[in-house]
Amino acid sequence: MKKIFTILAIVGLFSLQSCTVNDGPIVDNTISEVFEVNASFTATNDYSKLITFSYPIYSSDVVLVYRLSGTSQGNDVWKLLPETHYFTDGTLDFGYDQDHTTRDVNVFMIGNNLQTVSADFRLNQVLRVVIVPAGYASSINKNNFEAVMSSLKLNESQIQKIQL
């Protein structure tokens, strides 16, 4: 009887063990990147520019594209795509939009008669593509390029300039 009781005690000891949870620091293995590209939108390229990533990104990552729209008080003004420009009567003149996969982002113009859009809006456009890990996407102000850079702890020297 003592042997059975001892065996049951040992089996009970192992079966009643609980799992432990490690509440240590969470290691963030995500990568945020920013690319700068000069693009011209013409009939030859169907008013679009395909930017290929050097490696696939996660499908959960968010891709933000900004266009340099001018300067204000000596600072660059970046507008988040999609960006739309209207005629004075409120109808669509043209705009910029983007779509992406895990391997690339396609930036393109939308609208009617794109060939009539001023060259200032079609040629030599400076675009910045920001890859935002999914965990950060909901907590940042995506409309403000500087806020995105600050939230991701990135600076101007980390922007990769790509020649296409």
Question: What integer pLDDT is reported at residue 29 of this predicted model?
Answer: 45
> Tokens 């590209």 correspond to what residue?
37
Q: What is the pLDDT of residues 90-109, one digit of tens each?
A: 788 999 999 999 999 999 99
Mean pLDDT for 115-130 is: 95
Q: Determine, yes or no, domain membership for 148.
A: yes
| CA distance linking residue 71 with residue 122, whole number of Å | 18
User: Domain span at residue 114?
Assistant: 23-162
Domains contained in the chain, number: 1
Q: Determine, yes or no, domain membership for 6.
A: no
| CA distance linking residue 29 with residue 85, whole number of Å | 39
Q: Determine, yes or no, domain membership for 86.
A: yes
This prediction's pTM: 0.79
Q: Are 124 and 38 in contact (CB under 8 A)?
A: yes
Mean pLDDT for 26-48 is: 83
| CA distance linking residue 43 with residue 122, whole number of Å | 10
